[in-house]
Amino acid sequence: MTERANWAELRERRISEPGAWEAYQAARLAFELGRSVRELRQRRAWSQTELARAASMTQSSVARFEAGGTMTTLPVLERLAEALDADLDVRVVPRSVA
């Protein structure tokens, strides 16, 4: 078996474990939120330190957030959005029915 096949097999086994899919989805969401904040920060040509100062956070907190390494709260998202002169839009959207 190739290394790729072993990885695919391992991934399938792990993702089928109880709670694994939910954890994967939470990590995906954290990554996407971090990426969107990083992109907005970079458009302003700000460093992480500058964003941290504007959002009353530490630089290391901004770095962890942008890397998708933290599950954040709505107040933190609001502070980041305000600092970036952006709107925070949190919605629950129904899935399309087949």
Residue ranges of domains in the chain:
3-83
Q: Which two tokens stand for residue 25?
A: 């989805």
Below-70 pLDDT ranges, the chain: 1-5, 98
Instruction: Tell the CATH topology of 3-83.
Output: 434 Repressor (Amino-terminal Domain) (1.10.260)
CA pair distance 58, 64, nearest whole angstrom: 10
CA-angle at 90, arms to 89 and 95, nearest 5°? 115
pLDDT value, residue 62 = 97
- Which DSSP symbol is given to 95? P
pLDDT value, residue 48 = 98
